[in-house]
Amino acid sequence: MVYWTLLRDNTNYRNLWLGYVVTQLGDWFNLIATASLIEMLSGTGTAVSYLFLARFLPLFLFAPLAGVLADRYDRRKIMIYSNLVQAAVVLGFLLVRQAADLWLLYLLLVVQFALAALFTPARTAVIPNIVVRRELVTANALDSLTWSTMLAIGAFLGGVATAVLGIQAAFVLNALAYAGSTLLLARIAIPLQPAVEADITGTRKPGGWFNFMDGLRYLRGERTILGLALIKAGGSLAWGAINVLEVTFAHRVFPLAGGGEATLGLIYMISGIGTGLGPLLLRRWLGDEPRKMRWAIIIGLFLMTAGIAGLAVAPTFAWFSVATLVRTLGTGALWVFSAALLQLAVPDKVRGRVFAFEFAVLTLTQSISIYWAGYAMDQINLTIEQTTLSMAVVGSLVTTIWLLFHWQTRHLMVTAVAKNSDQFATSD
């Protein structure tokens, strides 16, 4: 099993991955507990919507700064300090006791997810520093599988912990998860990145936002890299809404055992299987060459679109399950191979900013897609099936655009990768 081999043989990646698992688990404890606290103190839909707004906006707004920091300073220290401060922030949730304190909860959430926005690009950018090239796709595939698995397991355990131990205990467990993750990250040996003294052209520039603009100029001058940095955002225009529509399908169309909870749990389980298997199967079939990975992205887009279309016309839950598997085989492949290609092709000195840009645009397009799902059903009265089909149309458009882009830039990727062949770890 390639996943096990990577975790067994690469100590640095193993600690990075274990830290990710612990953090993801704690984040689910946080979401369930904060939602329950807001519902208990307020009981209004608006108050709950503010919860997700407080979690989303910092991720988008702080992504540019996160990219600059990830390229300018030691990425391991960024992750460690982010975790430590988040642990302290989460403990601040214990001060929220009544409805009048909700402003404090929202403020602390904004701070927490601003720190999370700093953590994510640093973590993504550091992977090529601690894996050898042959491990890159496996590392990204394992990340994707872990996220999907924790989506199901973490949400379940978070609900159990909140129900059995109480909201306050869930916050304490979340803080302990950050502390545990920090201990694991501290054991990683990562080559220090020198401070960014010049832009990518070699001209000395002031720090901060000027460095971020250097990253944008780099992307503008590298068409193939810009396309790769945008492909997840394009895919999320189609799959973003599905995350919302799955809940409605589970509760209204295919409820099991009198309710949608069991259905939703099965959907998440199938999604975890699909996102894990997609990259693994395509890698075994196509291999790790950059040209083949671009074809894997195309196959992923086709599978994603076909799966979404299958959801729209599914007459039974068995059909819906197969369509979910097909969809997530595609999204898993799209996610993993686009990330791996970016890590192969982007120079280390600008990698953090590129991934911060990718993350910001992805967050934006996913939010647009999610908003469309609610608007389509509530404001223009589309059925859930029609709304899902509209996402398949979006997926078809994105696939067509990527095919045209692939054809026009098909000779450029090998050159981009060759320029950065020395950026990977040479050993564990």
Q: Is the separation of the CB atoms in 214 and 353 below 8 Å?
A: yes
Residues 6 or more apart whose CB falls under 8 angstroms from that of 187 comprise 11, 15
Between CA 143 and CA 147 the distance in angstroms is 6
- The Cα-based distances of 249 to 87, 166, 387 in angstroms read 36, 30, 12
Label residue 75 left, alpha or beta by phi (over 0 means left) and psi (-120 to 50 means alpha): alpha
pLDDT tens by residue, 247-303: 778 878 888 766 665 676 678 778 878 887 888 888 888 877 777 888 899 999 999
Mean pLDDT computed over 224-231: 88
Give the residue extent of every domain in the chain. Answer: 1-189, 219-421
What values do phi and psi take at 378, rounded to 5? -90, -35
Per-residue pLDDT averaged across 404-420, rounded?
68
Neighbours of 49 (CB within 10 A): 11
| Structural tokens at position 168 | 């306050």
Distance between CA atoms of residues 353 and 122, nearest Å: 9
The C-alpha atoms of residue 235 and residue 334 are separated, in whole angstroms, by: 8
So what's the pLDDT on residue 390? 95
**What pLDDT is attached to residue 201?**
44
pLDDT of residue 69: 83
Q: What is the pLDDT at residue 231?
A: 92
CATH 1.20.1250.20 fits 219-421, yes or no: yes
Determine the average pLDDT of the residues in 306-327: 95
Please enumerate in sequence order all residues whose Cβ is within 8 A of that of 1, keeping only pairs 6 or more positions apart, or say none. Answer: none
> Is 1-189's fold the same as 219-421's?
yes
345 within 8 A of 358, measured Cβ to Cβ: no
The conformation of residue 422, written as its DSSP 8-state character, comes to T
Q: Which of 165, 195, 187 is nearest to 74 (CA)?
A: 195
Mean pLDDT of 315-339: 92
Structure tokens belonging to residue 422: 């020395």
Per the prediction, the chain carries an average pLDDT of 81
User: Using one digit for the tens of pLDDT, what is the confidence trace for 38-77?
Assistant: 878 886 656 765 776 777 778 778 877 887 788 788 889 9
Helical axes 45-61 vs 63-72, angle rounded to 10°: 40
pLDDT of 133 over the 80 cut: no
How many Å apart are CA 308 and CA 331, to the nearest integer?
11
Task: List % helix, strand, coil for the chain (3-state, nearest 5).
Answer: 85, 0, 15
- Of residues 70 and 329, the one with the higher pLDDT is 329
At residue 48, the pLDDT reads: 61
CATH class of 1-189: mainly alpha
For residue 208, the tally of other CB atoms under 10 A from its CB is 13
The predicted pLDDT at position 14 comes to 93
**pLDDT level of residue 194 (50, 70, 90 thresholds):** very low
Instruction: Of 119-128, 158-167, 235-244, 337-346, give the lowest mean pLDDT range.
Output: 158-167
Check residues 317 and 62 and name the one with the higher pLDDT. Answer: 317
Token pair recorded at residue 350: 């600008």
Sort 284 into a burial class: Cβ within 10 Å, 0-12 / 13-18 / 19+: exposed
Does the CA dihedral 353-357-358-359 come out positive or negative? positive
- Give the amino acid at 186: A
